Amino acid sequence: MKTFYVTTPIYYVNREPHLGSLYTTIVADCLTRHKRQRGHETFFLTGTDEHGINIQRIAEREGITPREHADRIATQFKKMFRMFHLDTEHGGYDIFMRTTERFHYEGVSELWRRAARNRSPKGRENIYKGFYEGWFCASCAAYKTEDEYRKAEEEGQPPLCLEHNIPLDRVSEESYFFRLSDYSETLLELFERPGFIRPESRRNEVISFVKSGLQDLSVSRLKTSVSWAIPVPDDESHTIYLWIDALSNYITAIGFGNQERERVAGFEKFWPAVHLVGKDILRFHAVYWPAFLIAAGLEPPRVVYAHGMLLDGEGRKMSKTLGNTIDLDVLHKHFQTDAVRYFCLREVVFGQDAKFSYEALIDRANSDLASGLGNLSSRTLTMINRYCGGQVPSALINEEKYLAAKRAGVDPDPQALASALEHARDQFIIFFDDFAFSRAIETAWGVVARVDKMLSNAKPWELVKTEEQHQTLHAVLYRAAEALRWLCVLLYPVMPEATARIYEQLGLQGSPAQLNPGSLRWGELPEGTRIGEVKALFPRIDKAKTMSEIEKANEQAGGTHATEADAVAGAEAKSETKPEPPMRGATEAEAVPGAESVEGVTQFIEITDFAKIDLRVGQVLTAERVPKSDKLLRFTIDLGEETPRQVLAGIAEYYEPEKMVGRKLVVVANLKPRKLRGFESQGMILAASIGEEGRPVIATFTEDVPNGARLK
């Protein structure tokens, strides 16, 4: 039996569940159900990523243990998935993976050991300790090996990063490294596999990233700095950093490195997987992860599919600060699960960003589901009830009635309709295999339109009036009912509940889940079947009313949040109040280079260290953009010295040069001068770095200060 293994990212427990995680999980669920119908043995993984310094900190702030915090968030995820019927009981995921499980520890250790035992493609150690030669590039957020930096021209100066051409810092923390730099060729070869990275445009991005040169990856932290993590095998003093820990969940969950899970799922049986990931974490899954696997002598994933982000109705990122998020409780309260699923799969072109708004959802639900599929089902079944005594009628039109049928505009031969359905069926499957869910669904809706038209043309309500046309009437209604049956089978993965209900209303036993869409044959709807009670599947949603209810709920929620925020004013902002991309799933949450990596090496300094930094008050005399640079502004600044300094700063995207003139600010006065875009910068302007994109906000004084005054 063929197997199919699909994963969502494991969601990082630094924030509560949000629409993004729901979306990815819905897609995975849909894929799984479709494959199951097609006769594959499937395994569907989702879960949470629970280690790391961030979780340690959050827990500290909450006054609980990291484990308790992780439990809390994991529970919320499970609850959310249950709410939207994505849990095991509803036929959803097979495992809710947690990286704090014991079997995961075992599997991760095994992966590490195997990688460490093997040699890289260039015959070197895969994992090595890189502590004595700890040249760290702040921009790369990575350590540099000898062939990745250039010696400084002067004796005694730090070497320069080849990529950034900036001096490297000597960092004392020791760390294990993964020899990623030896894997470029191997990876580029892997990317040639058709469909390995999708969509195609993303594949190109990854290729150009790899071609630009890979650096070795720091894969451990000192236990003294990150204790909430899996220990490095055979080295008590280190813990395994994000990458290997989080990514390897995809194999430990199905039994790599542990008997317990192997029995339940089966690594040999299910690996390799199809990974569904947000586009923001594609690199980790398409580059690092395959490299780890290859290093350990394992097969890389089958597919890494990067999907897009869900944006608000205006196309902006969703964020709590903007107040444009979709509240999952609200969503659940006002919409059927199947309507949400339908919207996610039909409105969104899988792989691309999409707008997600309550209004659009209501429109889709009303036009496609209520007026479309729901109405077709309703009119068909009602007519069978009324004209055929509630039993699926005969499909047969005797030869002597052919003429009558034709007179009524009905083809005595159902072949045309049957062929159309077969074609739609084949297209549907092709689209599904290509992850083109929206196209597949469009195809199904072509069938809905066709059957609607057939009914309108044949006018069963007229046929019923003439005895001679009763066979025609029955045949037409049979055809409609049979088409409905096909639609149930095709659309089951998209809307498991609604299709099951139509199926039931058709009087059929069992569930469309058990039928293979590829095996649909015309005419297998048994005649004489007593149909069930006809009920509206998708009640029409009153848009105005629903929207005003939602808005009211939002206002209340907004008010509550504000109060809470006030109550903890002064406390650090919680991570979930920061504007973050909605799709930021777990496996990557920590994986923002520069964030955690830098934190990992932050150490206390002595007051004497601080005294080395000469901070001065400066006043901007002139300011202008640096030609051919997006970000650089060139200033001359009066530091109370004889001649003003020339200083460059990368703030052009956020500050108008004209408005900077005359401003007082803080300058690092004894920074080693450096050339940028041909201009020497003789200092550095201090600014706060805000939010995801690091928007600079320049440090200023509220009182008057003389130029050149020293800060200490």
Partner RNA sequence: GGCGGGGUAGCUCAGCCGGUCAGAGCGCAAGAUUCAUAACCUUGAGGUCGGGAGUUCGAGCCUCCCCCCCGCUACCA
Task: Name the site residues for RNA (rule: CB under 7 A).
Answer: 138-139, 163-167, 201, 204-205, 208-209, 212, 279-280, 283, 349, 352-355, 363, 366-368, 370-372, 374-375, 377-379, 382-383, 386, 449, 452-453, 455-457, 460-461, 536-540, 628-632, 648-651, 671-674, 676-677, 681, 684-685, 694, 696
By beta-carbon proximity to RNA, the closer residue of 498 and 525 is 498
By beta-carbon proximity to RNA, the closer residue of 73 and 286 is 286
Contact 489, 520 (CB under 8 A): yes
By beta-carbon proximity to RNA, the closer residue of 323 and 694 is 694
By beta-carbon proximity to RNA, the closer residue of 270 and 503 is 503
Question: Which residues lie closer than 8 Å to 531 by C-beta, 6 or more apart?
Answer: 381, 384, 385, 390, 391, 392, 505, 506, 507
Least separation, in Å, of the C-beta of 291 and RNA?
A: 16
By beta-carbon proximity to RNA, the closer residue of 294 and 447 is 447
Contact 320, 275 (CB under 8 A): no
Backbone angles phi, psi at 503, to 5 degrees: -55, -45
Least separation, in Å, of the C-beta of 141 and RNA?
A: 10
By beta-carbon proximity to RNA, the closer residue of 70 and 311 is 311
Least separation, in Å, of the C-beta of 434 and RNA?
A: 12
Contact 643, 692 (CB under 8 A): no
Contact 223, 238 (CB under 8 A): yes
Least separation, in Å, of the C-beta of 154 and RNA?
A: 14
Question: What token pair was written down for 237?
Answer: 């003093």
Least separation, in Å, of the C-beta of 643 and RNA?
A: 18
Which DSSP string do the residues of 439-476 spell out, in sequence order?
Answer: HHHHHHHHHHHHHHHHHHHH-HHHHTT-GGGHHHHHHH
By beta-carbon proximity to RNA, the closer residue of 236 and 533 is 533
Question: Which residues lie closer than 8 Å to 683 by C-beta, 6 or more apart?
Answer: 618, 637, 639, 645, 647, 667, 668, 669, 671
Least separation, in Å, of the C-beta of 308 and RNA?
A: 9
**Distance, CA of 163 to CA of 145 (rounded, Å):** 13
Q: Name the amino acid, one letter, at 634.
A: R
By beta-carbon proximity to RNA, the closer residue of 93 and 183 is 183
Q: Which residues of 396-424 are buried (b: 16+ CB within 10 A; e: fewer)?
A: ebeeebbebbeebebbbebeebbebbeeb
Under DSSP, the state recorded for 261 is H
By beta-carbon proximity to RNA, the closer residue of 297 and 691 is 691
By beta-carbon proximity to RNA, the closer residue of 39 and 593 is 593
Contact 382, 448 (CB under 8 A): no
Least separation, in Å, of the C-beta of 462 and RNA?
A: 7
By beta-carbon proximity to RNA, the closer residue of 142 and 229 is 142
Q: Name the amino acid, one letter, at 592.
A: V
Question: Which residues lie closer than 8 Å to 588 by C-beta, 6 or more apart?
Answer: 9, 12, 278, 280, 281, 284
Least separation, in Å, of the C-beta of 24 and RNA?
A: 17
Least separation, in Å, of the C-beta of 560 and RNA?
A: 31
Least separation, in Å, of the C-beta of 550 and RNA?
A: 19
Least separation, in Å, of the C-beta of 500 and RNA?
A: 14
Question: What token pair was written down for 617?
Answer: 């008050």
Q: Is the torsion defined by CA of 275, 9, 137, 677 positive or negative?
A: positive
Question: What token pair was written down for 565?
Answer: 């925020």
